[in-house]
Amino acid sequence: MSNNENEIEKLLDENLELIQEFFCPSDMTLIYFVTENLDESEHNKIEKHINECDDCKRIVDDLKKASKWFDSKREQMLHNLEQKAISEGLLSWYGFHLPDYLILAYLHGKIPDNKMGDNIRKDIETHLEQCNTCMKKFQGYKTDDRT
């Protein structure tokens, strides 16, 4: 490496923070941001940038939407989200269908008789009212039971 290159490298190093504030963060950084995998100071820096940069804000908004989709592709993540949704009564918010075991548990009266169970039942009922796909499944299971 020539002296000149060394010099440039050193300058870049020293001004990295400044440079980062001027230029848009990489897509990867934005993904880490959306999935909350940055440390706090880094997170705050990106947040500041996004508030000032429409381009990155748009990317982050899209990533947030996409991350919901990614989550549904990853079984463990889906499971965690489901647990969170169930415990917080947000099942219908997440835009995914009722898992079969919940439909069956509901049909067979296996949802626990407590506050959490009440929330789950309410969410299932709300979802069934709004979702033909799950309603068909539910009715299918019901018919299966009778035969």
- DSSP letter (8 states) at residue 134: H
* Cα-to-chain-centroid distance, residue 108: 30
Segment interacting with Zn ion, rule: CB under 5 A, options 3-11, 22-30, 37-45, 69-77? 22-30
Question: What value does the CA radius of gyration of the chain take, rounded to a whole number of Å?
Answer: 24
Shortest Cβ 92–Zn ion spacing (Å): 9
- By CB under 5 A, is residue 24 in contact with Zn ion? yes
- By CB under 5 A, is residue 53 in contact with Zn ion? yes
Between CA 46 and CA 33 the distance in angstroms is: 7
- By CB under 5 A, is residue 30 in contact with Zn ion? no
Tokens at residue 131, please?
């979702």
- By CB under 5 A, is residue 131 in contact with Zn ion? yes
Scanning the structure block, which residue is given the tokens 């820096």? Answer: 45
Provide the CB-side half-sphere exposure for 4 (13 A, CA): 0
Shortest Cβ 40–Zn ion spacing (Å): 20
Segment interacting with Zn ion, rule: CB under 5 A, options 1-9, 21-29, 35-43, 76-84? 21-29
* Cα-to-chain-centroid distance, residue 117: 24
Shortest Cβ 32–Zn ion spacing (Å): 15
- DSSP letter (8 states) at residue 113: S
The DSSP annotation for 74-85 comes to SHHHHHHHHHHH
Shortest Cβ 4–Zn ion spacing (Å): 30
- By CB under 5 A, is residue 56 in contact with Zn ion? yes
- By CB under 5 A, is residue 90 in contact with Zn ion? no
SS3 114: coil
Q: Which is nearer to Zn ion, 107 or 131 (CB)?
A: 131
- By CB under 5 A, is residue 134 in contact with Zn ion? yes
Residues that bind Zn ion (CB under 5 A): 24, 53, 55-56, 97, 131, 133-134
